[in-house]
Structure 1
Protein backbone atom coordinates (compact mmCIF):
# COMPACT_ATOMS: atom_id res chain seq x y z
CA UNK A 1 0.00 0.00 0.00
CA UNK A 2 1.50 3.31 -1.01
CA UNK A 3 1.39 6.35 1.20
CA UNK A 4 0.06 9.51 -0.41
CA UNK A 5 2.79 12.07 -0.88
CA UNK A 6 2.35 15.63 0.26
CA UNK A 7 3.05 18.42 -2.16
CA UNK A 8 6.47 19.65 -1.12
CA UNK A 9 7.68 23.19 -1.31
CA UNK A 10 10.73 23.46 -3.53
CA UNK A 11 13.90 23.19 -1.50
CA UNK A 12 15.25 26.61 -0.71
CA UNK A 13 18.86 27.35 -1.63
CA UNK A 14 21.45 27.86 1.09
CA UNK A 15 22.10 31.35 2.44
CA UNK A 16 25.48 32.60 3.65
CA UNK A 17 25.92 35.92 5.48
CA UNK A 18 28.77 37.64 7.24
CA UNK A 19 28.37 38.18 10.97
CA UNK A 20 28.47 41.95 10.40
CA UNK A 21 25.71 41.77 7.79
CA UNK A 22 23.58 39.60 10.07
CA UNK A 23 23.57 42.30 12.77
CA UNK A 24 22.69 45.03 10.23
CA UNK A 25 19.86 42.98 8.73
CA UNK A 26 18.46 42.09 12.15
CA UNK A 27 18.29 45.80 12.99
CA UNK A 28 16.59 46.54 9.67
CA UNK A 29 14.01 43.80 10.22
CA UNK A 30 13.20 45.16 13.70
CA UNK A 31 12.67 48.62 12.24
CA UNK A 32 10.47 47.21 9.48
CA UNK A 33 8.13 45.27 11.82
CA UNK A 34 5.66 48.14 12.14
CA UNK A 35 5.69 49.27 8.51
CA UNK A 36 5.73 45.91 6.76
CA UNK A 37 5.46 42.99 9.19
CA UNK A 38 5.13 40.35 6.46
CA UNK A 39 8.37 41.38 4.78
CA UNK A 40 10.12 41.74 8.13
CA UNK A 41 9.03 38.21 9.09
CA UNK A 42 10.24 36.88 5.74
CA UNK A 43 13.65 38.45 6.38
CA UNK A 44 13.79 37.05 9.93
CA UNK A 45 13.00 33.59 8.55
CA UNK A 46 15.79 33.87 5.98
CA UNK A 47 18.26 35.10 8.61
CA UNK A 48 17.35 32.17 10.84
CA UNK A 49 18.37 29.64 8.23
CA UNK A 50 21.56 31.42 7.13
CA UNK A 51 25.05 30.07 7.68
CA UNK A 52 27.07 32.84 9.36
CA UNK A 53 30.74 33.40 8.50
CA UNK A 54 33.31 36.05 9.33
CA UNK A 55 33.37 38.95 6.83
CA UNK A 56 36.76 37.77 5.52
CA UNK A 57 35.28 34.33 4.73
CA UNK A 58 32.30 35.59 2.72
CA UNK A 59 32.97 34.24 -0.76
CA UNK A 60 32.90 36.69 -3.68
CA UNK A 61 30.16 34.68 -5.43
CA UNK A 62 27.63 35.37 -2.61
CA UNK A 63 25.02 38.13 -3.02
CA UNK A 64 25.69 40.85 -0.43
CA UNK A 65 24.97 44.54 0.08
CA UNK A 66 26.88 46.59 -2.50
CA UNK A 67 27.44 43.67 -4.85
CA UNK A 68 26.02 43.67 -8.32
CA UNK A 69 24.13 40.54 -9.31
CA UNK A 70 22.81 39.25 -12.60
CA UNK A 71 19.90 36.88 -12.33
CA UNK A 72 17.69 35.20 -14.88
CA UNK A 73 13.93 35.19 -14.63
CA UNK A 74 13.36 31.68 -15.97
CA UNK A 75 9.62 32.30 -16.26
CA UNK A 76 10.00 35.39 -18.46
CA UNK A 77 13.30 34.19 -19.97
CA UNK A 78 14.93 37.54 -19.21
CA UNK A 79 18.17 38.52 -17.45
CA UNK A 80 18.35 41.42 -14.98
CA UNK A 81 21.35 43.08 -13.36
CA UNK A 82 20.90 45.01 -10.12
CA UNK A 83 22.99 46.18 -7.19
CA UNK A 84 21.67 45.22 -3.77
CA UNK A 85 21.76 48.19 -1.37
CA UNK A 86 20.50 49.43 1.99
CA UNK A 87 17.04 51.08 1.84
CA UNK A 88 18.36 54.64 2.01
CA UNK A 89 20.53 53.99 -1.09
CA UNK A 90 17.81 52.42 -3.25
CA UNK A 91 17.26 53.96 -6.68
CA UNK A 92 15.28 51.81 -9.09
CA UNK A 93 16.20 54.03 -12.06
CA UNK A 94 19.86 53.11 -11.47
CA UNK A 95 19.09 49.42 -10.76
CA UNK A 96 19.89 49.83 -7.05
CA UNK A 97 17.41 47.58 -5.23
CA UNK A 98 16.84 47.72 -1.48
CA UNK A 99 17.50 44.62 0.56
CA UNK A 100 14.19 45.48 2.28
CA UNK A 101 12.08 44.60 -0.76
CA UNK A 102 10.69 41.14 -1.53
CA UNK A 103 13.35 40.68 -4.23
CA UNK A 104 16.13 41.96 -1.96
CA UNK A 105 15.14 39.58 0.83
CA UNK A 106 15.03 36.72 -1.67
CA UNK A 107 18.50 37.51 -3.09
CA UNK A 108 20.59 38.26 0.02
CA UNK A 109 23.07 35.52 0.84
CA UNK A 110 22.55 33.40 -2.27
CA UNK A 111 25.45 32.04 -4.33
CA UNK A 112 25.94 31.94 -8.09
CA UNK A 113 23.88 29.16 -9.72
CA UNK A 114 21.29 29.17 -6.91
CA UNK A 115 17.73 28.77 -8.15
CA UNK A 116 14.91 30.13 -6.04
CA UNK A 117 11.23 30.91 -6.28
CA UNK A 118 10.02 34.42 -5.75
CA UNK A 119 6.51 35.79 -5.58
CA UNK A 120 5.92 39.15 -7.23
CA UNK A 121 3.87 41.89 -5.57
CA UNK A 122 0.93 40.94 -7.79
CA UNK A 123 1.07 37.31 -6.64
CA UNK A 124 2.81 35.70 -9.62
CA UNK A 125 5.39 33.02 -8.82
CA UNK A 126 8.70 33.28 -10.65
CA UNK A 127 11.72 31.02 -10.82
CA UNK A 128 14.96 32.97 -10.70
CA UNK A 129 18.57 31.85 -11.08
CA UNK A 130 21.66 33.72 -9.93
CA UNK A 131 23.98 33.92 -12.95
CA UNK A 132 26.82 36.13 -11.71
CA UNK A 133 27.81 38.09 -8.61
CA UNK A 134 30.24 40.97 -9.10
CA UNK A 135 32.53 42.68 -6.54
CA UNK A 136 31.11 45.29 -4.19
CA UNK A 137 30.04 48.57 -5.72
CA UNK A 138 31.74 51.07 -3.40
CA UNK A 139 29.30 53.81 -4.41
CA UNK A 140 26.42 51.60 -3.22
CA UNK A 141 28.12 51.12 0.11
CA UNK A 142 28.80 54.83 0.58
CA UNK A 143 25.38 56.07 -0.53
CA UNK A 144 26.85 58.16 -3.38
Structure 2
Protein backbone atom coordinates (compact mmCIF):
# COMPACT_ATOMS: atom_id res chain seq x y z
CA UNK A 1 0.00 0.00 0.00
CA UNK A 2 1.23 3.49 -0.76
CA UNK A 3 1.23 5.47 2.44
CA UNK A 4 2.10 9.08 3.10
CA UNK A 5 4.13 9.82 6.17
CA UNK A 6 1.79 12.02 8.19
CA UNK A 7 4.36 14.73 9.02
CA UNK A 8 5.35 14.99 5.34
CA UNK A 9 1.95 15.70 3.81
CA UNK A 10 1.97 19.34 2.78
CA UNK A 11 -1.23 21.13 1.83
CA UNK A 12 -2.19 20.67 -1.81
CA UNK A 13 -4.52 22.45 -4.24
CA UNK A 14 -6.54 21.05 -7.15
CA UNK A 15 -8.85 22.64 -9.68
CA UNK A 16 -12.45 21.51 -9.37
CA UNK A 17 -12.53 19.65 -12.70
CA UNK A 18 -9.24 17.86 -11.91
CA UNK A 19 -10.43 16.85 -8.44
CA UNK A 20 -13.61 15.37 -9.91
CA UNK A 21 -11.85 13.55 -12.75
CA UNK A 22 -9.03 12.27 -10.50
CA UNK A 23 -11.57 10.96 -7.99
CA UNK A 24 -13.34 9.08 -10.78
CA UNK A 25 -10.01 7.76 -12.08
CA UNK A 26 -9.03 6.48 -8.63
CA UNK A 27 -12.40 4.75 -8.25
CA UNK A 28 -12.16 3.15 -11.70
CA UNK A 29 -8.59 1.93 -11.05
CA UNK A 30 -9.28 0.48 -7.60
CA UNK A 31 -9.40 -3.12 -8.84
CA UNK A 32 -6.35 -3.01 -11.13
CA UNK A 33 -4.09 -0.70 -9.06
CA UNK A 34 -5.53 -0.71 -5.54
CA UNK A 35 -2.59 0.83 -3.67
CA UNK A 36 -2.01 3.68 -6.11
CA UNK A 37 -5.73 4.31 -6.57
CA UNK A 38 -6.19 4.48 -2.79
CA UNK A 39 -3.26 6.91 -2.46
CA UNK A 40 -4.60 9.12 -5.27
CA UNK A 41 -8.11 9.10 -3.75
CA UNK A 42 -6.64 10.17 -0.42
CA UNK A 43 -4.75 13.04 -2.04
CA UNK A 44 -7.92 14.22 -3.81
CA UNK A 45 -9.90 14.00 -0.58
CA UNK A 46 -7.44 16.16 1.37
CA UNK A 47 -6.88 18.78 -1.34
CA UNK A 48 -8.18 22.33 -1.21
CA UNK A 49 -10.33 22.66 -4.33
CA UNK A 50 -10.38 25.91 -6.32
CA UNK A 51 -12.61 27.06 -9.18
CA UNK A 52 -11.56 25.89 -12.65
CA UNK A 53 -10.74 29.31 -14.06
CA UNK A 54 -8.50 30.40 -11.19
CA UNK A 55 -4.78 30.54 -12.09
CA UNK A 56 -2.58 28.28 -9.99
CA UNK A 57 0.95 29.51 -10.64
CA UNK A 58 3.63 27.25 -9.23
CA UNK A 59 1.20 24.39 -8.47
CA UNK A 60 1.38 20.97 -10.11
CA UNK A 61 -1.82 20.53 -12.13
CA UNK A 62 -2.73 18.04 -14.81
CA UNK A 63 -0.64 18.67 -17.96
CA UNK A 64 1.85 20.81 -16.00
CA UNK A 65 5.50 20.58 -16.93
CA UNK A 66 7.56 20.35 -13.78
CA UNK A 67 10.98 19.58 -12.40
CA UNK A 68 11.31 17.60 -9.19
CA UNK A 69 14.16 16.18 -7.17
CA UNK A 70 14.18 12.66 -5.76
CA UNK A 71 15.68 13.29 -2.32
CA UNK A 72 16.98 9.72 -1.97
CA UNK A 73 19.14 9.99 -5.10
CA UNK A 74 19.52 13.75 -5.51
CA UNK A 75 18.52 13.37 -9.17
CA UNK A 76 16.31 15.93 -10.82
CA UNK A 77 13.73 15.00 -13.45
CA UNK A 78 11.67 17.14 -15.78
CA UNK A 79 8.27 15.63 -16.59
CA UNK A 80 4.74 16.43 -17.68
CA UNK A 81 1.95 15.06 -15.46
CA UNK A 82 -0.78 13.44 -17.58
CA UNK A 83 -3.76 11.10 -17.45
CA UNK A 84 -2.95 7.40 -18.05
CA UNK A 85 -3.82 7.26 -21.80
CA UNK A 86 -1.32 10.06 -22.51
CA UNK A 87 1.56 8.59 -20.49
CA UNK A 88 4.88 7.95 -22.22
CA UNK A 89 7.78 7.57 -19.80
CA UNK A 90 10.42 7.89 -22.53
CA UNK A 91 8.88 11.21 -23.60
CA UNK A 92 8.79 12.40 -19.97
CA UNK A 93 4.99 12.14 -19.69
CA UNK A 94 4.17 10.42 -16.39
CA UNK A 95 0.74 9.21 -15.39
CA UNK A 96 -1.01 10.60 -12.35
CA UNK A 97 -1.94 6.95 -11.69
CA UNK A 98 1.64 6.09 -10.69
CA UNK A 99 3.00 6.51 -7.17
CA UNK A 100 5.18 9.45 -8.26
CA UNK A 101 2.39 11.10 -10.26
CA UNK A 102 -0.11 10.75 -7.43
CA UNK A 103 2.43 12.18 -4.98
CA UNK A 104 3.19 15.23 -7.15
CA UNK A 105 -0.36 16.34 -7.98
CA UNK A 106 -1.34 19.54 -6.18
CA UNK A 107 2.09 20.32 -4.73
CA UNK A 108 3.60 23.77 -5.15
CA UNK A 109 7.16 24.83 -5.84
CA UNK A 110 9.36 24.17 -2.83
CA UNK A 111 7.06 21.59 -1.25
CA UNK A 112 8.21 18.04 -0.53
CA UNK A 113 6.22 14.88 0.08
CA UNK A 114 7.36 11.59 1.54
CA UNK A 115 5.46 8.41 0.73
CA UNK A 116 5.87 4.65 0.65
CA UNK A 117 5.68 2.80 -2.66
CA UNK A 118 3.82 -0.51 -3.13
CA UNK A 119 7.19 -2.31 -2.77
CA UNK A 120 7.72 -0.69 0.65
CA UNK A 121 10.37 1.78 -0.49
CA UNK A 122 10.21 5.22 1.13
CA UNK A 123 10.47 8.08 -1.40
CA UNK A 124 10.70 11.81 -0.89
CA UNK A 125 10.16 14.25 -3.76
CA UNK A 126 10.60 18.02 -3.88
CA UNK A 127 9.00 20.21 -6.56
CA UNK A 128 11.61 22.60 -8.00
CA UNK A 129 9.66 24.33 -10.79
CA UNK A 130 6.24 24.22 -12.46
CA UNK A 131 4.95 25.61 -15.76
CA UNK A 132 1.19 25.90 -16.07
CA UNK A 133 -0.42 23.97 -18.92
CA UNK A 134 -1.20 25.95 -22.06
Flag whether TM exceeds 0.5 (same fold): yes
Q: Which of 46, 59, 62 is the equivalent residue of 1:62?
A: 59
Q: Larger Rg: 1 or 2?
A: 1
**Correspondence for 1:36:** 33
Structure 2, unpaired ranges of 5+ = none
Normalising by structure 2, report the TM-score: 0.89
- Take 2:124 and 2:30, find their aligned partners in 1: how far apart are those partners? 27
Aligned residue-pair number: 130
1:110 and 2:107 equivalent? Answer: yes
Q: Determine whether 1:81 maps to 2:86.
A: no
> Residues 103 and 16 (structure 1 numbering): CA distance in 2 closer, same or farther, change over 3 Å?
same
CA contact (8 A) 1:115 1:129 kept: yes
1:118-140 CA-to-partner distances (Å, cap 9, x unmatched) read 3345432122110000121x5xx
Kindly indicate whether the alpha-carbon contact (under 8 Å) linking 1:103 and 1:118 is maintained by their aligned counterparts in 2. no
CA contact (8 A) 1:42 1:105 kept: yes
How far apart, in 2, do the equivalents of 1:127 and 1:133 lie? Answer: 18
Which structure would you say has the larger RCO, counting Cα contacts within 8 Å and 6 or more residues apart? 2
Q: Distance in 2 between matches of 1:64 and 1:83?
A: 10
Unpaired segments ≥5 residues, structure 1: 1-7, 139-144
1:128 to 103, 125, 133: 125
CA distance in 1, matches of 2:34, 2:6: 23
Q: TM-score, normalised by structure 1?
A: 0.83
